[in-house]
Amino acid sequence: MFEWNSNLEIGITEIDDQHRQLVILLNKLFNAMKSGSGRRILSDVFAELESYAIDHFTAEEALMAQYAYPEEDKHRAAHAEFKTKIETLKQESEKNDQNGLTIPVLLFLRQWLTDHIANTDQGLGDYLIRQNAS
Ligand SMILES: [Fe+2]
């Protein structure tokens, strides 16, 4: 179980709400794994992650462009890496029916929360608040 905490809160409501959705999805996968159904819901998790990445990164990138965020290129590159990693994990899991990739997916998402959201997005949030974007 991954708890939402103030390190994840960047202060921009639209973005924080979307980040909360990712925590909910991570916990859904974790709970399914505990009850032995992680593998069964994995394809749904990938589908949710793909649509999450499109909607959420589009929202963040629109704000970066609107407020001329100096770190935009680097931040966009991190989003592109997320999409590539999810795509790779999805393809691997489709190739390998016996050994589900639930643990690598879980670990990747947990790391994304602590690395990207708590640091990179936090930097974007600070900048946007200074620009009165909230
Ligand atoms: Fe981001």
What spacing in Å lies between the alpha carbon of 13 and ligand 1's midpoint? 14
- Global pTM? 0.92
Its domain, for residue 29, covers 11-130
What spacing in Å lies between the alpha carbon of 62 and ligand 1's midpoint? 11
What spacing in Å lies between the alpha carbon of 123 and ligand 1's midpoint? 9
Taken in order 111, 112, 116, 118, the sign of the CA dihedral is negative
What spacing in Å lies between the alpha carbon of 31 and ligand 1's midpoint? 25
* Cα gap 40→53, rounded to integer Å: 22
What spacing in Å lies between the alpha carbon of 35 and ligand 1's midpoint? 31
Share of the chain above pLDDT 90, in %: 86
Domain count, the chain: 1
Q: Are 71 and 55 in contact (CB under 8 A)?
A: no
First-residue to last-residue Cα distance in the chain: 30
What spacing in Å lies between the alpha carbon of 40 and ligand 1's midpoint? 29
Residue 2 forms part of a structural domain: no
Residue 5 forms part of a structural domain: no
Residue 6 forms part of a structural domain: no
What spacing in Å lies between the alpha carbon of 126 and ligand 1's midpoint? 13
Is pLDDT at 58 greater than 60 in this prediction? yes
The pLDDT score that the predictor gives to residue 132 is 86
Q: In this structure, what CATH number is given to the domain that contains residue 88?
A: 1.20.120.50
What spacing in Å lies between the alpha carbon of 77 and ligand 1's midpoint? 10
Q: Compute the 3-state secondary structure of the chain and give helix, strand, coil in percent, each to the nearest 5.
A: 80, 0, 20
Share of the chain above pLDDT 70, in %: 96
What is the four-CA torsion angle of 79, 84, 86, 92, rounded to 10 degrees? -170
Residue 110 forms part of a structural domain: yes
Task: Report pLDDT digits (tens) over 83-125.
Answer: 999 999 999 988 876 556 899 999 999 999 999 999 999 999 9
Residues around ion ligand 1, judged by CB within 5 A, are 60, 121
Over residues 39-62, the mean pLDDT reads 95
Residue 3 forms part of a structural domain: no
Residue 4 forms part of a structural domain: no
The pLDDT score that the predictor gives to residue 44 is 95
Name the DSSP class of 6.
Answer: G
Residue 1 forms part of a structural domain: no
Amino acid at site 54: I
